[in-house]
Each structure stands twice: as structure tokens, then as C-alpha cells.
Chains A and B, each alone.
Chain A
Amino acid sequence: MARSAPTARAARRPWRWEWGSAPWWLRLALPMIAILVTFALASVLIAASGANPLDVFYELLIRPLTRRTSRLEVLVRATPLLLTGVAVAIAFRAGYYNIGAEGQLYAGALAAAFLGPRLGEWAPPAAVAVMLVGGLVAGAAWALLPAVLKVYAKVDEVVTTLLLNSVMLLLVGGLLNGPWRDPVSGWPRSPTIAAAAEFPQVIARSRVHLGFVVALVLVALFWWVLSRTHFGLELRAVGMGATAARFMGVSVRATVLFAALLSGGVAGLAGVGEVAGIHHYLIEGISPDYGYTGIIVATFGGLHALGVAVAAGFLALVDVGSTSASRALGIPAYLGQVVQATLLLVTLAVLLLNRYRPARRSRREERV
């Protein structure tokens, strides 16, 4: 009974937020609003740690762009974020809430660390291709179980994908501290991959590697598949209205399953990139939560290809900036993470508005 009270109250308001698409200006303005609110909130924390917020924002957002090295470093950081961002966006678009990009990234990294040392005799292009395919398959394989459980037994994927992240981290830790431990140094790191399997640099005198190109191609593919292909239309239909999609003959199960595997595969590529492009071996902390940050990237990017690209760039910038900011201003290095986390929360709150539009209360209320 009490539940009905809000209805009665709402009925008296002359306008309300109506479910609908926000006008274009609002949609463009919302990410800006999110950033401003985030920085306003972050300012409080920064001030509390004894630094001047404006100095910190300069270090976070501007300083990295002033030097070539750090500019390129932003691209290096953006590489895994683009991939995990696309991975998460694919799944979310299908209404499948894959929180397991972190684990799937490590699955890809594991595959790369396994395959890499064994490709010494291969021609470099073939070896690199094997690395990519291996990571894709491994990421998808790690995504398989929760997807199957979701599709056939309605087990909540948020829980299963999240929990499997821990399983994967323990698995990687076990391997690195056990069979893969470096026999010489005793460090928990896998054997170095063959030179042929290394991702080539795409910009001289930098760490920007092939993975960056792969990531950009995938962002473009994401856009093309979603808007121009049969599968993309079905995927969007399933994500926005599974019942109606089923009514129109779309196989909801197959679509969700495929989207989930694709998502896992793309996240796996992010792991391959880190191993083959940066470290050339696997260590435990190879991903500073790129998988989780991918959720921020996808959400902040509005699950759109271009948005994902911009969001990945922005978060990479904050990432690079927070390292130098901590050095320059003596503030904690995890301030960058605080900014990112705040951004996620603010984005979620602000993006709610994206789904509504202010509308005059229509005369047609509830049909009886």
C-alpha cells in the first residue's frame, strides 16, 4: 500500500523525467558534467592530503602532454584500456554484465606466456598471429563457464565473472610461484617469450607496440559490427529488449553466449599485449586492474566506440599523470585511482540522466 504513495505524489508534479533519449546537447554535456563533478569531489580529497588541487590537476591532465615520452606513454597505457573497454562494452550492449575482464585479461596473458617461449622457430608475423589467436581463445575460454551458466541456468553473471577473477589471479600466482618460477633468479615470473613472438614497436623510441594498433582496429570493428551487421543488430536488440528480440526470432541464448565469449576474447587480447608488447614475460601484477578500469572506460564511453576511445585516452592520461604528480608534489600515487573510481561512481549517477529526458507530464498516465 505504501508503495503507491510515490505515484500519487508524482502525479501532482507538472513535469517528470521521462524514459527516453536525452537531447543531444545533454548527452554531450553529461560526460563533461561527470568530469567536473569528479574533480570537485577529488579536490576535497586532494586538499585533505595537503596539496593544491589545481597543481594536482595540472600534473594529472596537462603535464603528461607536454613531453614526448609521457605523451607516448599515455598511448601505451591506453592500449589495454581500449581493449578491456571494448570487451566490456560488447558484453554490456548485449545486456550481459561481464565484470570478469580482469580474469579474462590474465587468461590471455597466460596463453601468451605459454605460447611465447615456444615460438622461437616461427617467422615473426606468424608467431605474433599465434599469440593473438591464443589470447583471444584463452580469454573466451575463461568467459565460457559464466556465459553458459547464465544462458542455460540463469546464474547471475555479475557474481560468477567477478569471482572467477580471483580464481584466475590465484591460478597465475600458483603457476608463477610453482612450475613457471624463474629457475635462475627465483623470481615469480614466466620464461621470457621468443623474440619472434614479441609485438613490434609501432613508434620508434617508445613502448607503443602493435597492441595499440590492434586496439584501434577493434574499436573500429566494434563500431562496424554493432551498426552495420546482422549480428550487431541482434546483439543490440537482445540487450535492449530480450523478450521482444526473442519474439522477432532472434536466438537470445546464442547471441548472449557469443557476445560473452567475444568480450572475454577481446579482454584476453589486452593480456597478450601486456606480455608480448611490454614485459615479454608474465608477472603477477601485469595488470593494475585494467579489467576493472575497462568497466569505467565502457560506462564513461556510453558503450559507444568513439566514447570508449575517448574514455580510454582520458583514463590513461590520468594514470600517467598520477605517477608524475606523486613524484612532483609528494602526494600518494593512488590518487589517480581515486580519481578513476570517483569518475565511475559519478558517471553512473550522471548517466542515469542520459536515459531520461525532462518532459511535461503527459495527460495519459497509467492505463487502467
Chain B
Amino acid sequence: MTTTPEPVVSLRSVTKRFGALTALADIDLDVRPGEILALLGENGAGKTTLTKIVYGMYQPDDGELRVGGVPVRLRSPADAIASGIGLVSQHFALVPSLTVAENVVLGREGGALLDRSKIEGAVLATAERYGLDVAPRALVRAMSVGAQQRVEILKALHRDCKLLILDEPTAVLTPQDGERLFATLDGLRERGLAVIIITHKLREVMRVSQRVVVLRHGRVVGERATAGASQAELARMMIGREQLPVESASRRGTPLQRTPLQRTPLQRTPLVEARRLTLRDKRGVTLLDDVSFDLYPGEIVGVAAVAGNGQSELVSVLTGMAQPSAGEVLLSGERVSGLPPAQLARLGVGRVPEDRLEAVVGNLSVRENLTLEHIGAFTRAGHLDGRAMAAEADRLIAEYQVKAKPGDLVRTLSGGNIQKIVLARTLSRKPRFVVVAQPTRGLDVGATAYVHERLLEQRDRNAAVLMVSEDLDEVLRLSDRVLVMYGGRIVGDFAADEVDVGRVGLLMAGEGVAVHG
């Protein structure tokens, strides 16, 4: 980069709102030929929304998009492709039973007849021009994920893209394939392409990009030349905190009433013990790797992790929705892992899953959803006690301030009200152990505060709470202890008063962790 070339694509004051939520606020961004720009941010920071705007899937509410200096309106991905913008998403759009060349020209080449050798030649020429190692005749079905990703890249290049966007490209790759992808991207950059790589892994930013833009809560919070940036600095920008002692300050600033954690002798025996939990999927990929921890009564333990690092699987195991491949969970010394959900509920495990719609049946009424988990209590000889169900529903609706009538279908409620239904059903049974995942995702400020209060209430009545959240603020505000997960393992364990936010950020991003696998 001798002189600064004209940007390929520029964003000027781009804003995108979804209802009350501002997903992107006033974004300015340039991406130039011959550079790889890393877009770094936590989940929900707005990376994907930004991509969708550049790729024509969303229209900005404000601001403008320029391609080659000219303001444009991209109404669809077809427009974006025509403007020379290519996207490689995590979900490949390939037809497995077709060859590479057929996939590449699919939806592009006109004419009724397909001249095989001609398209194969053309595709090969594109591949060679960009130094991509792809055989045009190979069947996509037989290719590795890494190779399929190269086909996706080739597809974009064959459509003459000048800006290539990769959305978390390494999420689906092995480390070896990841390194190969980076080598490919280096090659594309040398040939003058502009590349945006979306990631939340610091290592990748440092490895492949020349420039990094950090997004947080829909805003650009920093921009650095990668060469001059330190990982610790980027981590701090990403999670939005300065160096310590931020944690105590944030505590003081919260409106939450909380008593300091003092363990009484009773609370010194762990209520929940996770022992060497391991979970592998069908293909043998390790999702949970030797996870052990203790939970004591009267504490909230927060799990901080970037999505896809095993926290969802941990919740599945603890809520009885998945069987661990190895290891066990003890509740008051009794083994509870592997028990069906009904039995867990009976033993005093309160469960609030990550996806609310996994906890309620949308097509059933509020009344039915509030009672189904403990339906035995409302049944006499198999016959439902409608009056008792209605009374319970009325009671919970009032107590948990659900804005709905007992007969409403749950599907028709807002996210906040659905979450209140899940909480009401779960917490009204006074569980000893509460597992809660993403408790406030998608909720507005009021509902969020309400949920937080209820969770602290559980802690104060001596339940053990394990909370998984993508929102690091939430984890830090509520937790008495913070566990950090990365790659299916617990890589950090901090007491609330000694949380080093910078270190948490690094651990979440996979730094300071021995690489395995």
C-alpha cells in the first residue's frame, strides 16, 4: 500500500434500527483494494447486520452506501453481486451433487445449453488467476468443508467481485483449514481484492488483517492498523471496558440491590458438582471437554464465552436435554446427569433455556404453558383440573406481571412476556438449582431489569444459579463468580471481586489458552 487507493465500498453514517433496537448507529467504514479489513466484535455487536446491509439484504434506515465512490442503493443480493460484492457466509449455498464448475456458474451463465468444457475452462481460469486450488470437475459432495469454502470464494470471484466478505469463515474449519484459508486470502489481497473478514477471534485478526475495526453495541468503537495494535487493547475495545478496577465501579453504578456474598457454614458444601463433563456429537467432535466446577447455594455463577464455545451444550446437559458422553453432574451428592427433564424439574432444577421457544409451545395457551411442566399437580385421575390450572395461571400472571390473558396463545406474546412465563413456571417452584441461559436476549430495558431482579432473588433465597450469557455486562453485573469457556473447556474461574476484565476478554477470544485439537 504505497498510496491510499480509492475505497471499493464506503459506508457513511449508516444506521439500522429494528423496532426499538438500534442495531447499527452512524457507521462510517471504508474498505480499500488490496487490504483485508477485520471486523471485530462480540455477538450482537452488529457485525452481521452490517454485512447484510452491504450485501443488499437489509436497507439502511439512514446514511448511504457507496461503491467506487458512487452512492448506490442495493435492493437485493443480486444488486450487490452486480456491484462487485461477494459474500461467503457460514452456511454454504452449494448443490452437493453438482461439480465445482456447475456450482460456480449456477444462476449466472445464460443460455439453455451448458457447455461443460467451456464452463470448466472458464472456472479454472478464474481459479488460476486468483491462485485458488480447486478442481472444476470435482463433485462438491466429496469435498471437505475447507474445500467447499474455497468453492464459495471462487463463486464470488467468478462473478467479478471486488469486495469479498467472509462471515466468521473459520467457525466451520479445522485449524489447518483455517491457516490454508488465510493463505488464500493473502493471495487475494496481493491480487488487489478488498476483503472484509468478520470474526471475534483475536488471533485471526492479528494473523490475516491489515486493519481492524471494532464494533460494539452497533457502533464503531475503534479502528487500528493491525500491526500497531495489541491483542489486549483490542479485547478491551471489543468488550467495552477499560483496564481495572472497572468491575467495582460498574457494580456501584448499577441500580441492582445486592448483598455481598458471605458464605455461611451451610453454604460451604457445594450443591451442584459437575465432574469432568464431556460431550461429543455424532461426528465425534468434542463440544464439551472435561468440564468440572462446583456451585454453592446462594451464589450466581456466570459463564462468559463467545457463542459456540460449549456453553450452550453445557446448558443442554444441565437441563436434561443432552446426555453427556462422559462425566456426571451431582445435585446434593446425587447423580442427576442423564435424568429426563421431568425428573430434574421434580428434584428442584429450574431450567430457563437459551431459546425461549424451546421452553414453551407457541400454539398452546399461556395457561397450558404455565402448568404443563408440573401438570401432575393439576390432574385428577388423568382428567385436567381446569379450575386449578386457571387459578395457577392467574396467580403467576399477576405475580410475574405477564401482559397476557390465560387463554392467549403464547406465540402471540412478546419475547419479554414469553420469558416471564418461563421464569414464572420455573421459579415459582422454588428450585434449588437454577440453570439459565441468555436470560435477557432480545428483551427491552425494563424486562431485562425485571429478570435480573428475579435472578438475584433466587440467589438471596439460597439457590445456586448458573447463568450463561452472551452479554458480558450481564455476567459481570450479576455474578458472584465468573467462569470463562473457550473451545468447550473452562479456561478461567474468577471471583467477582477479582475479575480482570482484560484477561476475561483475552480468554474468551482464545488467548492465553493452550491450543488443542
Contact of B7 with A by CB under 8 A: no
Contact B81 A1 (CB under 8 A): yes
Residue of B nearest to A246 (CB): B341
- Which of these binds chain B: A234-242, A268-276, A322-330? A234-242
Please give, as numbers and ranges, the residues of chain B lying within 8 Å of A365 by CB-CB distance.
Answer: 18, 58
Task: Mark contacts of A226-249 with chain B using CB atoms, 8 A cut-off: 1 yes-contact digit, 0 otherwise.
Answer: 001111111011001101111111
The segment from B72-80, B190-198, B484-492 found at the interface with A is B72-80
Within A343-368, the residues touching B (CB, 8 Å) are: 362-368
Among A3-11, A56-64, A170-178, the stretch in contact with B:
A3-11
Q: Please tell me which stretch of B117-125, B261-269, B356-364 contacts chain A, meaning at least 4 of its Cβ atoms lie within 8 angstroms of it.
A: B356-364
* Per-residue B-contact encoding for A162-187, CB less than 8 Å = 1, 0 else: 00000000000000000000000000
A326 to B83, CA, bound (A): 64
At the interface, yes or no: A21 with Cβ under 8 Å from chain B?
yes
Q: Give 1 or 0 for each of B32-54: 1 = CB within 8 Å of chain A CB.
A: 00000000000010101100100
Q: For the complex, what is the distance from the CA of A50 to the CA of B464, rounded to whole Å?
A: 79
A368 touches B44 (CB 8 A): yes
Given the known A-B contacts A244-B359, A247-B321, are A229 and B382 also in contact in the complex, defined by CB atoms under 8 Å? yes
A: contact size bracket: 35 or more
Contact with B along A1-44 (1 / 0, CB 8 A): 11111011101100000011100000000000000000000000
Q: Does B59 have its Cβ within 8 Å of any Cβ on chain A?
A: yes
Instruction: Indicate whether B384 reaches chain A with its CB closer than 8 angstroms.
Output: yes
Partner of A230, one of B44, B93, B379, B412: B379
With A1-B77, A9-B76, A365-B18 known as contacts, the answer to whether A230 contacts B341 (CB < 8 A) is no
A233–B77 CB distance below 8 A: no
Over the window 422-453 of chain B, the binary record of Cβ atoms lying under 8 Å from chain A Cβ atoms (1 yes, 0 no) is 00000000000000000000100000000000
Which residue of the partner chain, among A2, A20, A228, A232, contacts B412 with CB atoms under 8 Å?
Answer: A20
Chain B residues closer than 8 Å to A214, beta-carbon distance? none
Q: Which residue of B lies closest to A21 (CB)?
A: B409
Stretch at the interface among B304-312, B367-375, B470-478: B367-375
Once the chains bind, are A368 and B49 in contact (CB under 8 Å)?
A: yes
In the complex, which residue of chain B has the Cβ closest to the Cβ of A237? B361
> Does B146 make an interface contact (CB < 8 A)?
no
Contact B19 A363 (CB under 8 A): yes
A250 touches B372 (CB 8 A): yes
B358 touches A243 (CB 8 A): yes
Q: Which of B46, B52, B361, B384 contacts A245 (CB 8 A)?
A: B361
Type the 1/0 row for B1-26, where 1 means its CB is closer than 8 Å to any CB of A. Answer: 00000000000000001110101000
Answer whether A241 and B342 are a contact pair too, CB < 8 Å, given A363-B18, A365-B18, A368-B46: no
Q: Does B56 reach chain A (CB closer than 8 Å)? A: yes
Residue A52 is within 8 A (CB to CB) of chain B in the complex: no
Q: Chain A contacts of B361 at CB under 8 A?
A: 236-237, 240-241, 244-245, 248
Most buried by B among A4, A12, A248: A248
Residue B87 is within 8 A (CB to CB) of chain A in the complex: yes
Find A233's partner among B368, B411, B412, B442 (CB 8 Å cutoff): B368
- Determine the distance from Cα of A110 to Cα of B376 in the docked complex, in whole angstroms: 39
Given the interface pairs A7-B57, A8-B75, the reply to whether A247 lies near B384 with Cβ below 8 Å is no
Q: Is B351 interfacial (CB 8 A cutoff)? A: yes
Total residues of chain B contacting the partner, CB 8 A: 57
**A49 contacts the other chain (Cβ, under 8 Å)?**
no
Contact between A362 and B19, CB atoms less than 8 A apart? yes
Cβ contacts under 8 Å, B175 to chain A: none
A69 contacts B by Cβ under 8 Å = no
| Residue in A243, A245, A249, A368 whose Cβ sees the most chain B Cβ within 10 Å | A368
Q: Do A233 and B375 form a contact, CB below 8 Å, given A20-B412, A251-B340? A: yes
From A227, which residue of chain B is reached at the shortest CB distance?
B384
The answer to whether A11 touches B49 (Cβ under 8 A) is: no
Q: Which residues of A contact B81 (CB under 8 A)?
A: 1
B387 at the interface (CB under 8 A from A): no
Q: Closest Cβ of chain B: how far from A1's Cβ, in Å?
A: 5
- How many angstroms from the CA of A230 to the CA of B381 in the assembled complex? 9
Q: Which residues of A contact B46 (CB under 8 A)?
A: 368
**Residue among A1, A234, A243, A367 facing the most chain B CB atoms (10 A cut-off):** A1
How far is A64 from B369 in the complex, measured between Cα atoms in Å?
47
Q: Which residues of chain B are near A12, meaning CB under 8 Å?
A: 75
**How near does chain B come to A39, taking the closest CB pair, in angstroms?**
31
Closest residue to B49 on the A side, CB-wise?
A368
Q: Given A229-B382, A367-B442, A4–B341 Cβ distance below 8 Å?
A: no
> In the complex, A231 Cα to B360 Cα: how many Å?
17
**B189 CB, min distance to chain A CBs, angstroms:** 22
Interface residues of B in 76-94 (CB under 8 A from A): 76-78, 81, 87, 89, 93
Assembled-state Cα–Cα distance A311/B230 (Å)? 72
Q: How far is the CB of A258 from chain B (nearest CB, A)?
A: 13
- Near B by CB (< 8 A), chain A positions 300-319 give none
Of the residues B87, B345, B368, contact of A249 by C-beta under 8 Å? B345
Give residues 323-362 of B contacting A (CB, 8 Å).
340-343, 345, 351, 353, 357-362
User: From residue A231, how far is it (CB to closest CB) to chain B in Å?
Assistant: 6
The reply to whether A368 and B341 contact each other, CB–CB distance below 8 Å, is no
In whole angstroms, how far apart are the Cα atoms of A5 and B360 in the complex? 31
| B517 at the A interface (CB under 8 A) | no
Give Cα A103–Cα B373 distance, bound, in whole angstroms. Answer: 36
> In the complex, how many angstroms separate the beta carbon of B39 from the nearest chain A beta carbon?
13
Q: Which among B52, B107, B383 is the interface contact of A368 at CB below 8 angstroms?
A: B52
User: In the complex where A251-B342, A368-B23 touch, is A231 in contact with B18 (Cβ < 8 A)?
Assistant: no
Q: Is the CB of A249 within 8 A of B342?
A: yes
28 contacting pairs across A/B (C-beta < 8 A): A1-B81, A1-B93, A2-B107, A4-B57, A4-B77, A8-B75, A11-B59, A12-B75, A20-B411, A229-B383, A233-B368, A234-B375, A237-B361, A237-B372, A240-B362, A241-B360, A244-B357, A247-B359, A248-B369, A248-B372, A249-B341, A249-B373, A251-B342, A365-B18, A368-B18, A368-B23, A368-B44, A368-B48
The 7 closest A-B pairs by CB, nearest first: A249-B342, A241-B361, A364-B19, A240-B363, A248-B373, A8-B76, A230-B379
A237-B368, A250-B372, A368-B18 provided; 13 other pairs, C-beta below 8 A?
Answer: A3-B93, A4-B55, A4-B57, A8-B56, A228-B383, A233-B384, A236-B361, A236-B364, A245-B361, A247-B353, A248-B341, A249-B345, A362-B19
Interface residues, chain B, with chain A CB atoms under 8 Å away: 17-19, 21, 23, 44, 46, 48-49, 52, 55-59, 75-78, 81, 87, 89, 93, 107, 155, 319, 321, 340-343, 345, 351, 353, 357-364, 368-369, 372-373, 375-376, 379, 382-384, 386, 409, 411-412, 442
